[in-house]
Amino acid sequence: MKKTVFIYTFGCQMNVHDTEKMFGILKKGDYCKTDNPKKADLIIFNTCSIRQKAEQKFYSELGRIKSYKKNRPDLKIAVAGCIAQQEGKRIFKKAPYVDFVFGPQNIYKLRDFISSSNGPVAVSDNPDLALIDLPVQRETGVKAWVTIMYGCNNFCSYCVVPYTRGSEKSRPSEHIYAEVSEIAEKGYKEITLLGQNVNSYQSDVNFPGLLKKLNRVGGIERIRFVTSHPKDLSLDLADAIAELPKVCEHIHLPLQSGSDNVLKLMNRVYSYDIYRNKVVLLREKVPGITITSDIIAGFPGETEEDHIRTIEAMKEMEFDGIFAFKFSSRPRTAAARIEGHLPENIKSERLAEILSLQDEITLRKNLLFENTRQEILIEGISDTDKGRLAGRTRTNKIVTIPEKDIIKGSIIKVEIKKARKHSLEGMPLK
The residues of the shown chain that bind ligand F3S, judged by CB under 6 A, are: 11-12, 14-15, 48-50, 81-82, 160-161, 164-165
The answer to whether residue 194 forms part of the interface with ligand SF4 (CB under 6 A) is: no
Nearer to ligand SF4, 156 or 377 (CB): 156
Residue 330 binding target from ligand SAH, ligand SF4, ligand F3S, none, CB below 5 to 8 Å by type? ligand SAH
Please tell me whether residue 333 binds ligand SF4 under the rule CB under 6 A. Answer: no
The rounded distance, in Å, linking the Cα atoms of 391 and 387 is: 14
Give 415's DSSP letter: E
CB 180 within 8 A of CB 214: yes
Give the binding site for ligand SAH (CB under 6 A): 50-51, 158-159, 161, 196-197, 227, 229, 254, 256, 294, 296, 325, 327-328, 330
Find the DSSP H helices in 223-303.
235-243, 260-265, 272-285
Cβ-Cβ contacts under 8 Å for 135 (sequence gap 6 or more): 21, 24, 25, 27, 28
CA gap 423, 44 in Å, rounded: 34
**Of the two residues 137 and 329, which places its CB atom closer to ligand SAH in the complex?**
329
- List, in sequence order, every beta strand (DSSP E) within 247-382: 250-252, 290-297, 321-326, 373-381
- Residues constituting the chain: 430
Question: Is the Cβ of residue 154 or residue 423 nearer to ligand SF4 in the bound state?
Answer: 154
Residue 328 binding partner per list ligand SF4, ligand F3S, ligand SAH, none, with a CB distance cut-off of 5 to 8 Å that depends on partner kind: ligand SAH
DSSP one-letter code for 118: S
Asked whether position 51 contacts ligand SF4 by CB under 6 A, the answer is no
Pair 183, 137: CB distance under 8 Å: no
Residue 91 interacts with ligand SF4 (CB under 6 A): yes or no: no
Contact of residue 162 among ligand F3S, ligand SF4, ligand SAH, none (CB under 5-8 Å per partner type)? ligand SF4
Minimal distance, residue 253 CB to ligand F3S, in Å: 17
In whole angstroms, how far apart are CA 373 and each of 278, 393, 413, 418?
A: 28, 10, 7, 12
Report d(CA 281, CA 35) in Å as an integer. 46
What would the x/- binding string for ligand SF4 be over residues 126 to 165, using CB under 6 A? Answer: --------------------------x-xxx--x-xx---
**Residue 14 binding target from ligand SAH, ligand SF4, ligand F3S, none, CB below 5 to 8 Å by type:** ligand F3S
Give the residues lining the site for ligand SF4 (CB under 6 A).
Answer: 152, 154-156, 159, 161-162, 196-197, 229
